[in-house]
Structure 1
Amino acid sequence: MSSTTNHVGKAPSRVEGPAKVTGAAKYSAEFNVPDLVYGYVVSSPIAKGKILKIHADKVLAIPGVLQVFSHENVPGLAWFDKSYKDDVAPGGSPFRPLHDDEVKFSMQPVALVVADTFELARYAASILDIEYKESTHETDIEAKRDDGHEPGKGKTGYKPPVRRGNANKGLAKAEQHIKQEYIHGAQHHNPMELFGATVHYHPNGKLTIYDKTQGVYNCQQYVTKVFGLSKEQARVVNLYMGGGFGAGLRPQYELFLSVLAALELKRSVRLSLTRQQMFSFGHRPHTLQTVEMGTGPDGALLGLKHSALHETSRFEEYTENVVNWSGMLYKCPDVHLNYQVAALDVYTPLDMRAPGAATGSFALEVAMDEMAYAAGLDPLEFRRRNYAEEDQNENKPFSSKKLREAYDEGARRFGWDKRPMAPRATKEGNMLVGWGVAGGVWDASMQKAAAKATITADGKLTVSSAAGENGTGTYTIMTQIAAETLGLPMEAVTFKLGDTTLPEAPVQGGSWTAASVGSAVKSTCEALGEKLLKLAQKLGDSPLKGAKFEDVEFVNGQIRLRQDHDQAVVLRDVLQTSGEREIEADSSAMPNPLTMQKYSMHSHNVVFVEVKVDEELGTVHVSRVLNVVAAGRILNQKTARSQVLGSIVWGISMALMEETVMDHRFGRYMNHNYAEYHVPVNADIRDIEVVFVEEEDPHVNPLGVKGIGEVGLLGVAAAITNAVYHATGKRVRQLPIYLDKLL
């Protein structure tokens, strides 16, 4: 079925935009519910040790303080099995808040104070006296260089590195050769909205939980298993999210603590974490990487070795696909990939936009630039010569790949042919000007998802799925898909999401929501369309009698024959004549395992960057960025561009500013605030251009879409690093590029 009421591919504004800009959109800590009390978390000042005693009497004596929850008084819970996992948990035993007297990491939640007002809870928490016995901690990955190990099973989606050929023999044949180490420190997600939850305790004991999360069903599963509740007793809702970037994939401890307090006190509870506490769970791990590669006389890669070591916690083994991309993005017969983790006294790292790829592609793409110069080749030409026509990791063809076209379009738009090869060749006043290029690849994934559609007699369509909306445009693109499938104006369609009373959807991550939930929405609307056709055929003298579903199309509020547009019925007439108040259908969509076995499915991009570096001060200005993306069908030009634009800003942040600094004497992050955890502001951002190359992919999913949120970040930090070298002649291999590295 097709429709000439074309919404998909256009650039309508966000349907939830007015609610967001007027303040009508409610976030998790903004729901006003009756009989509400407030919680405040007490965080551990030590990184490792034991809690000896919690002196709560003084705090409990304050009028208005209701309870101090800690391991000393938390009741027995259903969560007795250390092997319990949420949907995206890595291997190991998940952290259990207030479970025992052991302190595993700095700023671990060790108590929850609940009071009548937020201000009172905060004050009471500040004077709560807790005795600790401190133990020696380890938080420095540099000290674990020789103490890493290959991970076990890994989290869902982790693929152990694939090795092929003999990299040492390939490198031995190389005429040109490089070997370098690349490093970036820990990075934290820092979404604008703090993590918080409002738990509405109903008189019948049921809970409505408004939690900041990227997966309401994941949180519901967590709550029901931990507290022994039924799904009917624990409804989880998240209608809007002020940024997640992966931080909300797992249930965080504000969920556990607020539900615990609500159940024990039989009161509604609100709990918000502070900005400092936002640094106490999950981060992009501090990672050390080594890349070695060599080329023959024609510039072809003959051998490549890429190894990585990053931190994990003592209690879980967090894994990322860091090195795998190096075996896929470029053609090379002999590849050795090695990935290790080392346990430290920190909280478990967590997926952060383009997890693994943002780390691994930085090292690979800077190494490719270094190798190009060693081989005497233009960096873009070097990539063209080593273009991979198939996925050598899995020995499969790509379902589609328009990266070569992206190279050509980007080079033309950027004026790459005017770039001098030699560093320090261009100067504007006291500014050294440099151009750099880098690229990336990201999985085009799809997960199982379900949706429901209901149309009423007045022609209004409501479609629902428990997907998430963390700013990506889910409300809008699902409205577009539904409207186009049934030939309706977007104004006639309402999409509902973020509620466990709705059909199940996966967590919003991995850039798979558009493909997964979008395919379910399309399938569901088609199922509804089949019902509507049958009703239309019951009309007296129906022009559609005998027509099969594939013979008709839904256009401009009509059902009509594809081959004879005059043979049509008005959809509203069908509904009103049927006598039905509403008609509904539901359906689901899932990836095709046969197609997955046959093809490698990925998005690709290439990034061109211009920097201007003050030779005397060492300051770096990113004056121009062009990101060319090949990501299948683009559902909404505006929201897609916004996704990539945000990723570019993040890439600038990663290259020049972003780093969480640990004081290893205390095992604590020092810059755990917005003042000292630096991210770009408007003055840091100049000219940004986003281009999507046309890419049709009939294999990847029913919509032909690929994710863009993650791939848009890839290549940006590396292209900036490469541009800085082209400008200054100084090669920086550790992020961020602070000015002292260029002086």
Structure 2
Amino acid sequence: MATNFIGKPKNRVDGRDKVTGTAKYTAEFHRPGLLHGVVVSGTIAKGRIKNIDTTAALRLEGVVEVFTHINTPKQAWLDLSYKDMDAPPGEPFRPLHNDKIQFNMQPVALVVAETLELAQYAATLVKVEYEVEEHRTKLADHLEDAIDGDGFRAGFVPPKSQGNFKKAFSNSEVQLDVEYFHGAEHHNPMEMHAATVFYEEDGSLTIYDKTQGVKNSQHYISMVFGLSKKKVRVLSPFVGGAFGSALRPQYQLFLATLAALELKRSVKVELTRPQMFSFGHRPITIQNLKLGASPDGKLKAISHKAFSETSRFEKYVENVVNWAAKLYDCDNIEQVYKLVRLDMYTPLDMRAPGGATGVYALESAMDELSYKLKMDPMELRLKNYSEEDKSEGKPFSTKTLRECFQKGAAKFGWEKRNPQPRSMKKGHDLIGWGMATGVWDAMQVPARAKAEFSADGTLTVGSATADIGTGTYTIMTQIAAETLGLPLEKVKANLGDSDLPFAFIEGGSSTAASVGSAVQKVCEKIAKKLLKEAGKIKDSPFKGANPEEVIFADEMITDKINPSISMSFAEIMESRELEKINKKYMLLPNMLKQNKYSRNTHSAVFAEVKVDEDLGTIKVNRIVSAIDGGRILNLKTAHSQILGGVVWGISMAVHEDSFMDHTFGRFINHDLSKYHISVNADMPEIDVVFVEEPDMVVSSVGAKGIGEIGMVGVAAAIGNAVFHATGKRVRSLPITQEKAMT
């Protein structure tokens, strides 16, 4: 009887710890004598500090130190190898490095005290005088200063054009020329960023950091402070949401480590909710789409241009305009990506970076074209369905998007749609139906894993990757249990510890394909060792047997041809007098094989909205998301991942909006009472359909990764539904009642 766990809707193995409070997060770790640090944030966008007065704060009993650029020792900043794994081109921000102010709410001091309350009060007594310089924070006002969006960064592909767009567009019988805008979006995970640094007696550091990559934080700290990695251990066993905000080491990690090293004491620094708005966000972007088509709907020309923000000190890039050539069969495609340097912090990867942005504009434009053509929006997409990636001239490793359209439409009831805007109504509500396509990358990156099988029948697997709430602990347990043939309760996964084998930062929907495959392979090595040892037992039926000839299931090795021939793991370990079997595995993606294909996930999203005809209030009433994500490793956690992505897509479409006071260059709605996000009361009925086809090119477990694809295309589908309901095309996000009615 086989032990099958992969694909099953298993409960989270860490679920009980989380709901009972046993799971501890970064700011919850404590030791006697722990000091508390509070960050003092700057109040101008550009200039320098003329004077900083810490006298009043230092007079308070219990205030240990106030760190500023004046008394902060210079670190090993000149060594550029300190850059983290997610760093864009440029010079990373250096906290308390000098008197220069580069963005509003920049940290200008760290107050360290015996208690949190005292540190908070003392921080209010720090007085700063500035020399203010003229700043710029409004993207639309500086497009003429745009620079090329290029430069090496992991995962970024510089856009390239093909064919002759201008000629093909001018010769197109049907033309569309439109512009779209969305402002900054902020990650705002439940757990705020924090770092708890324990200073050990030997001078080493044990650091709990809110991070998506403990190895990344360890590398950053060791390089910046000139420490041996053996002296720096970073742990992040549980992460209360991140969405990309913890891909890079944020400034609380630097400040807490600085204070601990200088004071030779343990220090905790946790950012406030307003300070969570002071670093990284989805960049403000303006996009222009031009589509040319024949009267029958065949695309002749596509132009996708984007202007996005970056900071003065780094060149943040993401794949915004690269998607049309992957989705549509068109020979003439122009792709232009420009950046504008602003006096703001560098943008930061945020769930489906570039994809959520670029596909929103592309799929909105495709919807607009369908109405010009008087053609069904799904029919238009199928008319131009691409069987290969036109940008690379490569076939897809797998692609079930056509089936996603079919199954998603059937689930939604798309065939009942009346194509005329404002034609569907119920009471005071105008009903709108819209749809869009989603696409994201299917990535695999290097990863290591280790495994230890014990004589008591338990298996422990480990990798330094993170679980940011996606269910990584659970799927690693399932993969290990099925590969070796053990019950789930006998498998334990260890993650989020820099002492564990290397894993890249948890991002880009790459973890399942990367670490999952490494775990599978290391467990196969354990299995081979067990079979080899079984063959050494006297009169063993498995002498000289190959792994392909046996089955590992139910804690036994069983002959495939003759199931009556079997041997338990316990018997093997006892007979061979083995206490433990330890193995390691290094996964290196087979680039020779993978580079022959374009590797992507896809989706088809269908949305229904209700718009009050008198008030203009918008309610997302129903979503169907059909997903092409390769092999689904856990039906329950995968379903939750897509639900989360859809929720964020809804929030992007009709709720989330940042307001920048350009006089001061500062986000002014920097808390959750003013920065609106979707909540339970906003949630519609959400149906998720998985169209599975294992992708053995991307990973040996067949998974493609689904963390991002659930969000891509949702905002466009909702915007398209709002147009269908109202006849009003809104080209800036979020779509508010004012925009929908004016």
TM range, normalised to the smaller chain?
over 0.9
What is the alpha-carbon distance in structure 2 between the residues aligned to residue 696 and residue 268 of structure 1?
48
What secondary structure, in the 3-state scheme, does the structure 1 residue paired with 2:410 have? helix
The structural deviation recorded for 1:552 is 1.5
The structural deviation recorded for 1:104 is 0.3
What is the alpha-carbon distance in structure 2 between the residues aligned to residue 236 and residue 83 of structure 1?
19
The structural deviation recorded for 1:82 is 5.4
Q: In structure 1, give the amino acid aligned to 2:594.
A: M
The residue correspondences of 1:361-372 to structure 2 (distance < 5 A) are 361-372=359-370
The structural deviation recorded for 1:522 is 0.4
Alignment RMSD, CA only?
0.9
CA contact (8 A) 1:84 1:93 kept: no
What secondary structure, in the 3-state scheme, does the structure 1 residue paired with 2:611 have? strand
What is the alpha-carbon distance in structure 1 between the residues aligned to residue 80 and residue 562 of structure 2?
64
Q: Which residue of 1 aligns with 2:474?
A: 476
Q: In structure 2, give the amino acid aligned to 1:446.
A: Q
The residue correspondences of 1:277-426 to structure 2 (distance < 5 A) are 277-426=275-424
Q: 1:80 to 1:716 in 2, by over 3 A?
A: same
Q: State the identity %.
A: 54
Q: Deviations over 1:203-235 (max 9, x none)?
A: 111110000000000000000000010011100
Task: Check if 1:105 corresponds to 2:103.
Answer: yes
The counterpart of 1:134, out of the listed 132, 135, 139, is 132
What secondary structure, in the 3-state scheme, does the structure 2 residue paired with 1:742 have? helix
Task: Check if 1:535 corresponds to 2:533.
Answer: yes
Q: Deviations over 1:635-674 (max 9, x none)?
A: 0000000000000000000000112110100100010000
CA contact (8 A) 1:154 1:317 kept: no
CA contact (8 A) 2:40 2:107 kept: yes
> Which structure 1 segments of 5+ residues have no match?
none
What is the alpha-carbon distance in structure 1 between the residues aligned to residue 331 and residue 441 of structure 2?
22
Q: Which residue of 2 aligns with 1:730?
A: 728
Q: Which residue of 1 aligns with 2:437?
A: 439
The structural deviation recorded for 1:240 is 0.5
Q: Which residue of 1 aligns with 2:681?
A: 683
Q: Which residue of 2 aligns with 1:215?
A: 213
The structural deviation recorded for 1:84 is 4.3
What secondary structure, in the 3-state scheme, does the structure 1 residue paired with 2:479 have? helix
Q: Which residue of 1 aligns with 2:76?
A: 78
What is the alpha-carbon distance in structure 2 between the residues aligned to residue 76 and residue 732 of structure 1?
50
Q: Deviations over 1:129-152 (max 9, x none)?
A: 111111111000011122111133
Answer with 570-579 or 633-642: which moved more: 570-579
The counterpart of 2:605, out of the listed 604, 607, 622, is 607
Q: Which residue of 1 aligns with 2:522?
A: 524
Q: Deviations over 1:520-554 (max 9, x none)?
A: 00010001111111111122221211211221120
What is the alpha-carbon distance in structure 2 between the residues aligned to residue 163 and residue 695 of structure 1?
31
What secondary structure, in the 3-state scheme, does the structure 2 residue paired with 1:380 have? helix
Q: In structure 2, give the amino acid aligned to 1:573.
A: E
CA contact (8 A) 2:81 2:223 kept: no
CA contact (8 A) 2:82 2:224 kept: no
Q: Deviations over 1:580-616 (max 9, x none)?
A: 2211111021211112221111000010000000011
The residue correspondences of 1:496-575 to structure 2 (distance < 5 A) are 496-575=494-573
What is the alpha-carbon distance in structure 2 between the residues aligned to residue 549 and residue 33 of structure 1?
49
What secondary structure, in the 3-state scheme, does the structure 2 residue paired with 1:381 have? helix
What is the alpha-carbon distance in structure 2 between the residues aligned to residue 571 and residue 132 of structure 1?
70
CA contact (8 A) 1:544 1:560 kept: no
Answer with 77-86 or 208-217: which moved more: 77-86
What is the alpha-carbon distance in structure 2 between the residues aligned to residue 26 and residue 522 of structure 1?
28
Q: In structure 2, give the amino acid aligned to 1:294.
A: G
Answer with 534-543 or 448-457: which moved more: 534-543
Q: Deviations over 1:233-276 (max 9, x none)?
A: 10000000011100000000000000000000010101100000
What is the alpha-carbon distance in structure 1 between the residues aligned to residue 585 and residue 482 of structure 2?
17
What is the alpha-carbon distance in structure 2 between the residues aligned to residue 465 and residue 164 of structure 1?
42
Q: Which residue of 1 aligns with 2:230?
A: 232
What is the alpha-carbon distance in structure 1 between the residues aligned to residue 680 and residue 531 of structure 2?
52
Q: Deviations over 1:34-72 (max 9, x none)?
A: 320100000001111111111112211110000000110
What secondary structure, in the 3-state scheme, does the structure 2 residue paired with 1:90 have? coil
Count residues in correspondence: 741
Q: 1:83 to 1:694 in 2, by over 3 A?
A: closer
The residue correspondences of 1:194-209 to structure 2 (distance < 5 A) are 194-209=192-207
Query: Structure 1 length as normaliser, TM-score?
Result: 0.99
Q: Which residue of 1 aligns with 2:648?
A: 650
Q: Which residue of 1 aligns with 2:142?
A: 144
The structural deviation recorded for 1:81 is 3.6
> Which structure 2 segments of 5+ residues have no match?
none
Answer with 51-60 or 262-271: which moved more: 51-60
Q: In structure 2, give the amino acid aligned to 1:625.
A: I
What secondary structure, in the 3-state scheme, does the structure 1 residue paired with 2:70 have? coil
The structural deviation recorded for 1:197 is 0.8
What secondary structure, in the 3-state scheme, does the structure 2 residue paired with 1:348 have? coil
What is the alpha-carbon distance in structure 2 between the residues aligned to residue 599 and residue 92 of structure 1?
31
What secondary structure, in the 3-state scheme, does the structure 2 residue paired with 1:42 have? strand
Q: Which residue of 1 aligns with 2:273?
A: 275
CA contact (8 A) 1:463 1:496 kept: yes
Q: In structure 2, give the amino acid aligned to 1:641.
A: H
What is the alpha-carbon distance in structure 2 between the residues aligned to residue 719 and residue 291 of structure 1?
17
The residue correspondences of 1:180-199 to structure 2 (distance < 5 A) are 180-199=178-197
Q: Which residue of 1 aligns with 2:580?
A: 582
Task: Check if 1:121 corresponds to 2:116.
Answer: no
Q: Deviations over 1:474-511 (max 9, x none)?
A: 00000000000000000000000000110010100000
The structural deviation recorded for 1:177 is 0.8
CA contact (8 A) 1:368 1:379 kept: yes
What is the alpha-carbon distance in structure 2 between the residues aligned to residue 725 and residue 716 of structure 1?
14
CA contact (8 A) 2:653 2:735 kept: yes
What secondary structure, in the 3-state scheme, does the structure 2 residue paired with 1:163 have? coil
What is the alpha-carbon distance in structure 2 between the residues aligned to residue 151 and residue 716 of structure 1?
26
The structural deviation recorded for 1:727 is 0.4
What secondary structure, in the 3-state scheme, does the structure 2 residue paired with 1:324 have? coil
CA contact (8 A) 1:162 1:327 kept: no
Q: Which residue of 2 aligns with 1:662?
A: 660
CA contact (8 A) 1:154 1:318 kept: no
The structural deviation recorded for 1:562 is 1.6
CA contact (8 A) 2:150 2:317 kept: no
What secondary structure, in the 3-state scheme, does the structure 1 residue paired with 2:242 have? coil
What is the alpha-carbon distance in structure 1 between the residues aligned to residue 385 and residue 162 of structure 2?
18
What is the alpha-carbon distance in structure 1 between the residues aligned to residue 86 and residue 414 of structure 2?
42
Q: Deviations over 1:281-324 (max 9, x none)?
A: 00000000000001112210000101000110000000010000
Answer with 292-301 or 110-119: which moved more: 292-301
Q: Deviations over 1:689-723 (max 9, x none)?
A: 01101213232211111111101101100000000
What is the alpha-carbon distance in structure 2 between the residues aligned to residue 688 and residue 611 of structure 1?
13
Q: 1:289 to 1:345 in 2, by over 3 A?
A: same
What secondary structure, in the 3-state scheme, does the structure 2 residue paired with 1:726 have? helix
Q: Which residue of 2 aligns with 1:12?
A: 10
Answer with 27-36 or 721-730: which moved more: 27-36
Query: Structure 2 length as normaliser, TM-score?
Result: 0.99
The structural deviation recorded for 1:33 is 2.0
What secondary structure, in the 3-state scheme, does the structure 2 residue paired with 1:18 have? helix
CA contact (8 A) 2:441 2:599 kept: yes
Q: 1:83 to 1:552 in 2, by over 3 A?
A: closer
What is the alpha-carbon distance in structure 1 between the residues aligned to residue 337 and residue 150 of structure 2?
11
Q: In structure 1, give the amino acid aligned to 2:286.
A: L
What secondary structure, in the 3-state scheme, does the structure 1 residue paired with 2:334 have? strand
Q: Which residue of 1 aligns with 2:89?
A: 91
CA contact (8 A) 2:79 2:223 kept: no
